[in-house]
Chain A
Amino acid sequence: TQLLEQSPQFLSIQEGENLTVYCNSSSVFSSLQWYRQEPGEGPVLLVTVVTGGEVKKLKRLTFQFGDARKDSSLHITAAQPGDTGLYLCALSGDSGGSNYKLTFGKGTLLTVNP
């Protein structure tokens, strides 16, 4: 059974600060996705990373996939109150598993205070 751990579990910062959240797996996976979920809504896909060492940028968000494809990070520059939400990572597939099944971490709840 793959384990997917996210840290920190909770993060409260002031507007304008930078932050990084982490996602670590107990085994190698074929691809990893990051989602953001706002209260009362379903998760929304932010990015998919598939190549070890890959870096993707989405405005002020930078996503990195570890070289060994067992970890990932999300860095937010100059956080804004609109970034508040639950950030979830999800991994897809392993060396012997189904590429369709997603396993989610428990998420990082980010609060950005004005």
Chain B
Amino acid sequence: EAQVTQNPRYLITVTGKKLTVTCSQNMNHEYMSWYRQDPGLGLRQIYYSMNVEVTDKGDVPEGYKVSRKEKRNFPLILESPSPNQTSLYFCASRGGNEQFFGPGTRLTVL
């Protein structure tokens, strides 16, 4: 079954404590991306990756890092989380015109 998985699904943390949200896809897609979804603001792209070792900033990259060492994995790293990064995060993987989203990670930064 084609899917994008994210972990954890829920996370509550404190300001400044580094965290990583993992993302993995099994469709051999080259293009992957991260979004955050906030009420009234919709889905906004954080970072994307065109292929292994190729990443670039999306619309709201500040405070985030990513890496793409393997085609299937695209982790999102928050080196020093702040309360304004409390949000619902989605990883996505795209092949051709079809984009698949993960189930989401709800992050709360206290």
Segment 78-114 of A: residues with Cβ below 8 Å from B:
88, 90, 92, 100-107
| Known contacts A106-B40, A106-B41: A42-B102 contact under CB 8 Å | yes
State how many residues of chain A have any CB contact under 8 Å with chain B. Answer: 21
**A100 x B31 contact (CB < 8 A):** yes
Q: Is B74 an interface residue (CB 8 A)?
A: no
Binding site for A on B (CB under 8 A): 4, 31, 33, 35, 40-45, 48, 50, 58, 90, 92, 94, 97-104
CB of B33, distance to nearest CB on chain A (Å): 8
Instruction: Report Cα–Cα, A45/B4, bound state, in Å.
Output: 14
Complex contact B101–A44 (CB within 8 A): yes
- Complex Cα gap A107–B43 (Å): 9
A41, A48, A107: which contacts B42 (Cβ < 8 A)? A107
Residues of A within 8 A of B (CB): 31, 33, 40-45, 48, 50, 88, 90, 92, 100-107
A-side contacts of B94, CB under 8 Å: 100
Q: Check A33/B99 contact, CB under 8 A, given A42-B104, A100-B31, A100-B50.
A: yes
Q: Is the CB of A105 within 8 A of B50?
A: no
Known contacts A41-B103, A42-B102; is-contact A104 B43 (Cβ 8 Å): yes
Contacts of B4 in A (CB 8 A): 42
In the complex with contacts A31-B97, A45-B98, A100-B50, A40-B43 CB distance below 8 A: no
Q: How far is the CA of A88 from the CA of B97 in the complex (A)?
A: 16
Kindly list chain B residues whose C-beta atoms are within 8 Å of the C-beta of A106.
Answer: 40-42
Q: Which of B33, B42, B98, B101 sits near A42, CB closer than 8 Å?
A: B101
Given contacts A88-B43, A106-B41, A107-B42, contact A100 B48 (CB under 8 A): yes
- Choose from A40, A43, A100, A101 the contact partner of B101 (Cβ within 8 Å): A43
